Chain A
Amino acid sequence: MPEATKTINIIIIGSGPAGYTAGIYAGRAQLKPLLFTGEEPGGQLSWTTEVENYPGFPDGVQGPELMNKFRDQAEKFGAEIVDAKVEKVDFSARPFKIWSSGKEYQSRAVIIVTGASANWLGLENEKRLKGRGVSSCATCDGFFFRGKDVVVVGGGDVALEDAITLAKVAKSVKIIHRRDCLRASEFMQKRARENEKISFVWNSEVIDVLGDQKVAGVRVKNNQTSEETEIKCDGVFVAIGHHPNTEMFKGQIDLEDRFGYIVLHGGSRTSVEGVFAAGDVADFKYRQAVTAAGMGCMAALDAEKWLESQN
């Protein structure tokens, strides 16, 4: 591990498609980047199985396998990878300061690629029953609900995909959605509607998860009538979107007001000179592995140019 006092050229915070791609480019540019993986090495794709739309893999590829290849490629070109999370940053003066596992690092440039994480409902009992029937990964945990009743909370593509995945094993799948129509694409809606096991609970919000040792049901409130009802179920799958991982950067760089995405200027520059960002942490529109990778490349090239200009 590098000495804490030595100034590093580039620190990359995050190890999704954007992070590793930045690592590959910065590594090839002989910048000896230091990359922190965070708690989710490989990023969001580690949570999925088959990725069918990443170019170069006509037969599809497993998400974790793809991300391991990204990592190998970054390491091959000299990126140093630290399996730890960054806890704090200080961008107020150069070199920038970064803290991880209690150690201080100094870097001339920083690339933020902390991506996005799944939202939870934020209920006490949801947290308590995580792993006891509450889940956010239908492909991982559907197996445990063979012949059982489950609910999916959400109304986007991910929620419907989860519902369809779960319907393969579960007895019934109820989709609980806050509105009276879906945000999901027409294609996914059609597939869900045609599935006999899937039904919809409209205009309803989950206000509590019930169960002692494991999930027994959910309490929902109809937001039109305020009526509260209980739905019996063994599993609760939460698919209510994502939020950018920008908590740590509040007050340091400009974030967009509504959800806190990083605001970019001309390519990958943030509001602080020398700090760049890429991928889902700054992109609420495309949110794809291939676009994140592309943005990671842009950030590394921009950072390289900027570092040269500082010499």
Chain B
Amino acid sequence: MPEIILTDKNFENEVIKSAIPVLVDFWAPWCGPCQIQGPIIDELAKEAATAKIGKLNVDENQATASKFGVMSIPTLMIFKNGSVFEQMVGVQQKNALKKKMEEAAK
């Protein structure tokens, strides 16, 4: 599934109300490690055909970032049934994310 650009506006519909788990990458353009994480997320989205993956720019969507207490980027969260299933701080590798997504899908 192509990745979704998440915003304060569509977060509720795309993530909180989603029927399947969603992996969200909280990032910002000025953050070095986020630029390492970005392509990993892109690749994951390409490979994992059934997974739902989105990116949220914390600079432009501060309400959502602060609602979930993001204070360090990149932060990756997996949402399941409307709540946080898993939270990871710092760059995460593709395989680790895959595994976590599979767990969430169980």
Contacts and interface: CB of A to CB of B under 8 A. Distances in A.
Interface of A: 39-42, 45-49, 62-65, 83-84, 101, 130-133, 135, 137, 139-141, 143-145, 213-214, 235
Contacts of B58: 143-144
B36 A64 contact: yes
A214 B71 contact: yes
Contact of B35 (A62, A130, A143, A145): A62
Given A83-B94, A130-B89, A143-B59, A47 B33 contact: yes
B69 A135 contact: no
A83 B47 CA distance: 15
Given A64-B33, A141-B72, A145-B71, 6 more contacts: A41-B36, A46-B32, A131-B87, A139-B32, A140-B28, A140-B72
Nearest to A101: B95
A132 B36 contact: no
A49 B32 contact: yes
B23 interface: no
- Give the interface residue-count category, chain B: 20 to 34
Interface of B: 28, 30-36, 58-59, 65, 69-73, 75, 87, 89-91, 93-95
A297 B101 CA distance: 40
A130 B72 contact: yes
B33 A131 contact: no
A48 B32 contact: yes
B72 A144 contact: yes
B71 A64 contact: no
A208 to B, nearest CB: 19
25 contacts: A39-B91, A39-B93, A41-B36, A45-B32, A46-B35, A48-B32, A64-B35, A83-B93, A84-B93, A130-B72, A131-B71, A131-B89, A140-B33, A140-B73, A141-B31, A141-B71, A141-B72, A141-B73, A143-B58, A143-B59, A144-B58, A145-B71, A214-B69, A214-B71, A235-B71
A139 B31 contact: yes
Contact of B34 (A42, A140, A214): A140
B18 to A, nearest CB: 23
A41 B58 CA distance: 23
B95 to A, nearest CB: 8
Nearest to B34: A140
Contacts of A101: 95
